[in-house]
Amino acid sequence: MIEKVRNAVEKYHMANTEESVLCCLSGGADSVALLLCLHEIFPQVRACHINHQLRGEESLRDECYCVEICQKLGVPIEVRRVDAKEYAQKLGKSVEEGARILRYQIFEEMGCDKIATAHSLSDCIETAIFNFARGTGITGLASIPPVRGKIIRPLIECSRAEIEEFLSERGVDWVTDSTNLTDDYTRNRIRHNVVPQLRQINTSLEKTMSGTLDNLREDAAFIKGMADELFESAYSGGGLDCEAIAAAHSALSGRAVMRLLKEAGADTSREMVKRVRELCTTGGRISAGGGVEAYTSCGKLFAVKPNIGTQIEQISVILYGDGNYKIFEKNILLNITHNLQYDSNIHKKVTNFIADYGKIKGEMVARGKLPGDTIKLIGRGFTSSVKKLAQAYAPPHERAKMVVITDDDGLIFVEGYGFAERVAVDNSTKTVLHCKIS
């Protein structure tokens, strides 16, 4: 079985032998087998046992066993005793969920390159069935991923029967959590009742399901990659381009919208994703849960918490010429070009964002818009209120962060619109300033 684990480590690029690996050790058969395999494969293996103090003497028995087997193998181990019940109550979570969160926090604190958990093929099958029963998509059906960040699952292709046989052949005991023997938990009912029934239909259940899960993982990874590409290409200025989302296949646009909602802390249920995605064609505004509002503005779909971004600290940045500057988490790129030949036929999309550097008076300063700001833009022939320009250009939560640039005589540039008429390039221009904000 060690070779099978070694192959899984290589197949899924879990870790290399130079990295430090933490074995999450409970004392159960799966985690003990994991410890033995890691000890053979990785020179820098450590163990960590979390005593949740939920099962009295049984919890203490598990702790003592873990310390004992690590001492026999010469593997360093750290034991942490925690009050999982109290921690879960503070979070407002179930004891099971609270204990899981606490475990992973502690594992992260250990500072190893990789964190190895003992999830097996049997766990993957049970999780896939559980997810299917309560409703899920392809990612849920693909079950537990072999790798997630620094968390690795080297036993992902080993069944529980293989693991117990491996330990028995080596004469290694393990401890049994008595709660795993009851049907009090859904997962146990699946293990004790559903899986045996499926095995009667297909005696090669584990082998068949292993291949199926591999296929699902590949498909899920491909679709996620395509959805991420859509998100990156459609996302700018805090929102998704409505036209791009509406034109994309629902399998991709739905995932892009779900990512937008998730990053905002909103509801990501199938129904909510569908409703928010429809805004790209219908327009409007809806409550998206978690205090988040989803709405369309200026051709983009946004998911934000109201009032965030509408009140910001007023700051300013002096612009000394060529270079990159930062304000309100935006980048201002200034380029100065000398001896540029003027061409009156250049499109306004270009000319609006270039200025005659020689016409700028004194010091240039970038800041947020202020009440009463006005500007006479190139080609408009009249003075405009920056407030009204912001309402037309930017969604509500971004308007307070709209950037303007001033010189000693007032505004010379407004984000999204360009430079003022008084600094426009003409036949006498010798030095050109180009401005881009992203």
Q: Are 300 and 323 contained in the same domain? A: no
Q: Taking the CA atoms of 98, 268, 221 and 195 in sequence, report the sign of the dihedral they define.
A: positive
What is the C-alpha to C-alpha distance for residues 374 and 304, in angstroms, rounded to an integer? 28
Q: Are 170 and 299 contained in the same domain? A: no
pLDDT at position 307 is 58
pLDDT at position 350 is 46
Q: Are 77 and 208 contained in the same domain? A: yes
Alpha helices of 42-175 — where are they, by DSSP H? 57-73, 84-91, 95-109, 121-134, 138-141, 160-169
- In this structure, is residue 253 part of a structural domain? yes
pLDDT at position 368 is 85
- In this structure, is residue 397 part of a structural domain? yes
User: Is there a contact between 395 and 239 (Cβ–Cβ < 8 Å)?
Assistant: yes
Q: What is the pLDDT of residues 359-380, one digit of tens each?
A: 999 888 988 888 888 999 888 8
pTM equals: 0.71
Q: Which of 304, 327, 357 is the endpoint of a domain?
A: 304
What is the C-alpha to C-alpha distance for residues 54 and 83, in angstroms, rounded to an integer? 8
pLDDT at position 30 is 98
pLDDT at position 319 is 82
Q: Are 299 and 320 contained in the same domain? A: no
Alpha helices of 202-343 — where are they, by DSSP H? 205-234, 242-247, 250-264, 270-282
pLDDT at position 341 is 58
Question: In this structure, are strands 300-304 and 410-414 parallel, antiparallel, or unpaired?
Answer: unpaired
Q: Are 60 and 181 contained in the same domain? A: yes
pLDDT at position 213 is 97
pLDDT at position 118 is 98
Q: Are 49 and 180 contained in the same domain? A: yes
Stretches in the chain below the pLDDT threshold 70: 307-314, 339-352
pLDDT at position 165 is 97
pLDDT at position 130 is 96
User: How many domains does one find in the chain?
Assistant: 3
pLDDT at position 308 is 47
Q: Are 328 and 427 contained in the same domain? A: yes
pLDDT at position 7 is 97
pLDDT at position 347 is 43
Q: Are 137 and 286 contained in the same domain? A: no
Provide the CATH number for the domain around residue 191.
3.40.50.620
User: By residue range, what is the domain housing residue 257?
Assistant: 237-304
Q: Are 298 and 335 contained in the same domain? A: no
